[in-house]
Amino acid sequence: MTDDAGAEPLEVLIRDARADDLPAIQRILNRESVEELANWDEWPWSDARRREWFEQHRDEVMIVAVGPHSVVGFAYLSPYRGKSGYRFTRECSVYVEPAFHRRGVGQRLLRELIERARDRNLHALVGWIEAGNEASRALARAFGFEEVGYERETGYKHGRWLDTVEVHLLLQSAEEFERLVAPGFRVLRIETAGQLAEAIEVRRAVFIEEQQVPEDEEIDGYDADPAAPGMGGRVVHVLGRLDGRPVATARLLLDHAGEPPHGYPHIGRVAVLAELRGRRYGEQIMEALHEEARRRGHGGITLAAQEHARPFYERLGYIARGGLFLDAGIEHRWMDLSFTS
């Protein structure tokens, strides 16, 4: 990245780069390669190589800043590494003619680059800045980039070793991003304390507020941080999100497996927000835990169903056993599901 606002802003037009902008792009980049440190190439590119590079970036964002007489800066996004798992991340690069530094051109280009990235539903932008380039580091910070890494003496140019600062910008939260790229209802296995906190908020709404279950009975030792030692062998929590919003949850108690009469693990804390019941979200939550139990080699599931919810579990194949009993002042009945029957 180059440029920082300082002198009177220059009026520029920001638009998509075109093939006829290549001579100006060549001029800017080749000068950087030979004379400056924003680009760590050491020799100028040929026109043919630059045209090939331009074609390779046709599907990416590439923009120019046009001043009164010519292109005075440009910026672009490029793929971050070569693996599909990085497809929502891009590296961003911004270059400005030295004669127009500190006139707001870099700001205009970077602002537009970020907006274009959001429009494409990207999630993260990364960049690398030569550590001594305080103007570029300040520009990145002004737009919310964090300095997340420092690479010592990873480059060598103009007869000296150079350090690099890695900068990083999240374009939206994980939940906001999920709404963008995966709208609808999705079930995930809970792996972090943050995800568990979302599930507990759903349970708080259903059990503590709606059903008046005492909090000290609702929240228990199975609700510890799922990453804590030993928790993975005791319990599996799942969370259902609708357009990124937590709306349903349940858990599978693994250390109850082996108890009579069947030796099945125990599903509990099945909860769907009141306004969203009847939309099959509960069924999807249950099926996620059924699959988890099957994957672990269990022959079935047991649970203590609230009596009013017994028809829901019967539709899933559960069979009631025994009589009614009270738990937290609510009528329950044991029910079992065999995967082999």
Q: 148 with 295, same domain? A: no
pLDDT in tens, 282-320: 999 999 999 999 999 999 999 999 999 999 999 999 999
Residue after which a domain boundary falls, among 171, 190, 212: 171
pLDDT in tens, 62-71: 999 999 999 9
Helix (H) or strand (E) holding 196: helix 193-203
| Span 141-168, average pLDDT | 97
Distance CA 240, CA 259 (A): 28
Beta bridge partners of 337: 301
Distance CA 164, CA 154 (A): 7
Q: 77 with 138, same domain? A: yes
**Domain boundaries, position 94:** 13-171
Q: 143 with 194, same domain? A: no
Residue 98 lies in a domain: yes
Q: 195 with 135, same domain? A: no
- Give me the CATH number covering residue 90: 3.40.630.30
Q: 315 with 216, same domain? A: yes
Distance CA 197, CA 204 (A): 10
Q: Which of 307, 300, 195 is nearest to 258 (CA)?
A: 300
- The answer to whether residues 303 and 293 touch, using CB atoms and an 8 Å cutoff, is no
| Span 94-120, average pLDDT | 94
Residue 210 lies in a domain: yes
pLDDT at residue 194 above 90?
Answer: no
Residue after which a domain boundary falls, among 119, 148, 171: 171
Q: 234 with 108, same domain? A: no
Residue 7 lies in a domain: no
The three-class DSSP label of residue 338 is strand
Q: 141 with 286, same domain? A: no
Greatest C-alpha distance within the chain: 87
To the nearest whole number, what is the mean pLDDT of the chain? 92
- The answer to whether residues 302 and 334 touch, using CB atoms and an 8 Å cutoff, is yes
| Span 40-44, average pLDDT | 94
Q: 18 with 162, same domain? A: yes
Residue after which a domain boundary falls, among 171, 206, 239: 171
Q: 50 with 147, same domain? A: yes
